Structure 1
Amino acid sequence: MINWKKNLYILTASLFIVMAAMTMIIPFLPLYLQDLGVTDSEQVSIWSGVIFGINFFSAFLVSPFWGRLADRHGRRLMVLRSGFGMAVVMILMGFATGPWSLFFFRLLNGTISGFNPASIALISTNTPKQHVGYALGILQAGAVAGSICGPLFGGLMAEILGFRAIFNITGVCIAFAALTVTLFVKEDFTPPKNEEKTSTWQDFKTVAAIQPIPFVYVIIFIIQFALIGVNPLVSLFIEDLSGGQNSAFYAGLAVSVMGFANMLASPRLGKLSDKKGAQYVLYGSLIGAALFAIPQAFVTELWQLIVMRFMTGLCLGGLLPAANTLIRQLAPEGMESRTYGFSNSFLFLGSMLGPMIGGMIAAAAGVRGLFVLSALLLIIGVFVMKHRVVPRLKQTS
């Protein structure tokens, strides 16, 4: 088996472990805050939102910095830095003494995180270009599978072992994944010689001058904002549709079915992007995501919502892998990781602002209004693809 396939399968398995471990804490984070002495329900809600979001905020700020280091010292090193760093921080979270210390550890975790983005950069730069779409689709499937399993495992183990023990288990799992990468993943990397030192802003101007990279960044932000922004509020919508019967189960089902569809579709759509062009897969997936987002605002039965979420998940499988494939194709030589670093900042910004602004919109216009906004944003993404991305790629080909 040639090295790029070996790297792909080992990193996919490692990413599954990391994403499962990282998402183990999601179901009980508000409950852990209560254990730390936050008893008022309003304060629990506020702290939960802040502690959840601060991780994305710090990751948004530092992603370009890690991208620059990766271009200078190798992408594998960034995977290991993130893996072992997060393992230590996750264990420390189990020793938090109050909400402020948990806040600090989540801030620190976002600063050193990036196992997933670093894995994407490593795979995309060490895979033959004709197979990059397929490889990124497989990697996405592993990440999504871990994200589906993590909350389930975390909820079950928290009931048996308690909240603090889960952080220790999470840290050990991430350390094991990083050790696996250390032992088995190889990178073909030649450090640049006599590279001119530039600022982050200069790097961004260099990357953004290459068309249509800035518009791909906009698409990535829209995807995260429109699709991730809805997720935290789906449970409220389901509670209304189900009449309060088994709401938690159906909320979990609605999230899981979307992730399961994403996992199924991403390798197939990745292979299709290698054959037909990543821009066309991204364009078609955006159209599909927009079309399936609109009916979700008007469903009257729970099964209708679950079906629409599944169909949206199928489209989601072609969005980020195709966008990352385009970035790999367009990135200037020697600046691949910096190009991904800026992309990750847009992704983290969407992940941070989506739930925050989505919550405000849901409070003002209801969750149905939030689905309408998501559809409108995705339609904007379709027009950006049609008029800015696809034509410019035709000009350069």
Structure 2
Amino acid sequence: MKDNKKLIGTVLFCHFLASFTALGMPLFLPKIMADLINSESNYLIGWYYILPTICMAFAASWWGVFADRYGRRLSLLRAQAGLAVGFLIAGFANNLTLFTLGLLIQGVCGGTYAASNAYLATQVNRERLPTVLNWTQFSARLSLLVAPIIFGLLITSDNPRQLYCYLAILPLFAAILVYHLPKDELQSSIKRQKQSGLKSAPLSFLQILLIQFLFSFSMVVSFPYFLPFAEQLGIIETSIIGFYFSLPHLVYLIITSCGLIKIETSSAVSVCLYGLLALIIAALIQMQINTSLWLWLARLTMGLGITLTFISLHQCFAALKNADNAGLIFGRFDSAGKWAGVTAGLCSGFLVKLAGLNAPFLLSAIAAVIAIGVIYFPQPRYLTNEEDS
């Protein structure tokens, strides 16, 4: 199958629009929910932070099966439309119940990352898949870079939820673009390739999923309370807080766009190890500081760790790629990350209440250490249960 640069560019652009809306707003939940909950219920912020994520975690594998059966383009269209509807409801919400409903719909009907990758997996050559996965992640990191800064400037103190309504236009526009993309081949018309790339994979599928879970947990566990953590360090301006929050993602963008790191499948495990070590160092720095003086160093180190780990996991994952059940495979991969986000949000809420705003960084370091352990305890090599049948 010949690669289509225009098609890839369109999918990546649409994924950016969805990521821009979905990934930028959670940082400001403390401000968005200020008039919906009282000060004694601030612990709920962590729960609402992961509410869409837990819905996506439950639905991801099912939507993967849906994509393989009815078409990956249709599933991608569904994800964009679901995100728009969820944002509209959240934007018009004037009570906690309606706001909750908007986040639930955003989560259950969302999942543009897995849907985009599943569609692209049927449109690009297998050798190019790791690069395409890096660029899909690039669009997500770009969103995390620019969205918090822009939203920090645009969000109002009078009605911060109103911004949801304006942002709903972006996934609606993306859905229109997706509708005009060519349909992908369904499972019945694709020749099965059970053993495609399986022998060259340096890690088993189970190892990849476990590392994805632990890595995502390590990265996300400090997200829900980063705004009050930064304020505790003496940073007052929300735009500056947004910049520090986005700094690790800027590192990913620079390294990826400039092609500064290119790895082969054979070296992916070593690169993953270096990435996890960088995450540990970054987490320990942030756990110890009580001023903003060294925050920039910690965030840059975190960005290097995120970059190395993502690139290595994509290289390993692409070796397991199988086009005819791409929806299910990418759904499970994305689901592992979503469950990590769910667990991280729950843990951060409890941990902050018990031990303060620095505590999630210790948990971040522990998760990265466990991920390193997964690398050195090989698991049976298999891809999916469906492929064993």
Q: Do both share a fold (TM > 0.5)?
A: yes
Gaps of 5+ in 1: 196-209
1:143 aligns with 2:140: yes
CA contact (8 A) 1:134 1:267 kept: no
What residue in structure 2 maps to residue 4 of structure 1? 4
Give percent identity, aligned residues only: 21
Amino acid at match of 1:103: T
Gaps of 5+ in 2: 192-201, 384-389
CA contact (8 A) 1:136 1:270 kept: no
Amino acid at match of 1:41: S
What residue in structure 2 maps to residue 335 of structure 1? 325
Matching of residues 273-288 of structure 1 within 5 Å: 273-274=263-264, 277-288=267-278
What residue in structure 1 maps to residue 195 of structure 2? none
CA contact (8 A) 1:327 1:339 kept: no
What residue in structure 2 maps to residue 157 of structure 1? 154
1:90 and 1:81 map into 2 onto residues whose CA distance is 14
Matching of residues 246-325 of structure 1 within 5 Å: 246=236, 248-267=238-257, 272-274=262-264, 277-299=267-289, 301-325=291-315
Shift of 1:306: 1.5
Matching of residues 16-95 of structure 1 within 5 Å: 16-26=16-26, 28-35=28-35, 38=36, 40-43=38-41, 45-95=42-92
CA contact (8 A) 2:221 2:345 kept: yes
Shift of 1:372: 2.8
Shift of 1:61: 0.8
**Residue aligned with 2:288, SS:** coil
**Residue aligned with 1:8, SS:** helix
**Residue aligned with 2:188, SS:** coil
**Residue aligned with 1:189, SS:** coil
Deviating more after overlay: 60-69 vs 150-159: 150-159
Deviations for 1:317-349, whole angstroms, at most 9, x for unmatched residues?
232353244333225553222122122222111
1:300 and 1:9 map into 2 onto residues whose CA distance is 43
**Residue aligned with 1:272, SS:** coil
Deviations for 1:355-378, whole angstroms, at most 9, x for unmatched residues?
221232344344444323322221
What residue in structure 1 maps to residue 198 of structure 2? none
1:364 and 1:30 map into 2 onto residues whose CA distance is 19
- Seen in structure 2, the aligned counterparts of structure 1 residues 120 and 140 have a Cα distance that, compared at 3 Å, is same
1:228 and 1:251 map into 2 onto residues whose CA distance is 16
Shift of 1:379: 1.7
- Seen in structure 2, the aligned counterparts of structure 1 residues 15 and 337 have a Cα distance that, compared at 3 Å, is same
CA contact (8 A) 1:23 1:154 kept: no
1:191 aligns with 2:191: no
Deviating more after overlay: 274-283 vs 105-114: 274-283
**Residue aligned with 1:388, SS:** coil
1:127 aligns with 2:117: no
Deviating more after overlay: 102-111 vs 155-164: 155-164
Q: Could you state the TM-score of these two structures normalised by the residue count of structure 2?
A: 0.84
What residue in structure 2 maps to residue 202 of structure 1? none
- Seen in structure 2, the aligned counterparts of structure 1 residues 150 and 260 have a Cα distance that, compared at 3 Å, is same
2:343 and 2:378 map into 1 onto residues whose CA distance is 24
**Residue aligned with 1:358, SS:** helix
2:252 and 2:265 map into 1 onto residues whose CA distance is 20
2:246 and 2:79 map into 1 onto residues whose CA distance is 26
Deviating more after overlay: 358-367 vs 54-63: 358-367
1:268 and 1:275 map into 2 onto residues whose CA distance is 20
Shift of 1:90: 1.6
CA contact (8 A) 2:153 2:239 kept: no
CA contact (8 A) 1:24 1:170 kept: no
Deviating more after overlay: 220-229 vs 116-125: 116-125
- Seen in structure 2, the aligned counterparts of structure 1 residues 292 and 7 have a Cα distance that, compared at 3 Å, is same
2:299 and 2:230 map into 1 onto residues whose CA distance is 12
1:238 and 1:339 map into 2 onto residues whose CA distance is 37
Shift of 1:272: 1.6
- Seen in structure 2, the aligned counterparts of structure 1 residues 10 and 321 have a Cα distance that, compared at 3 Å, is farther
What residue in structure 2 maps to residue 374 of structure 1? 364
Shift of 1:214: 1.2
2:259 and 2:227 map into 1 onto residues whose CA distance is 29
CA contact (8 A) 1:270 1:318 kept: no
Higher helix fraction: Structure 1 or Structure 2?
1
Deviations for 1:58-105, whole angstroms, at most 9, x for unmatched residues?
111111100111112222221111112221232222222411111122
1:100 and 1:290 map into 2 onto residues whose CA distance is 38
- Seen in structure 2, the aligned counterparts of structure 1 residues 193 and 177 have a Cα distance that, compared at 3 Å, is closer
**Residue aligned with 2:92, SS:** coil
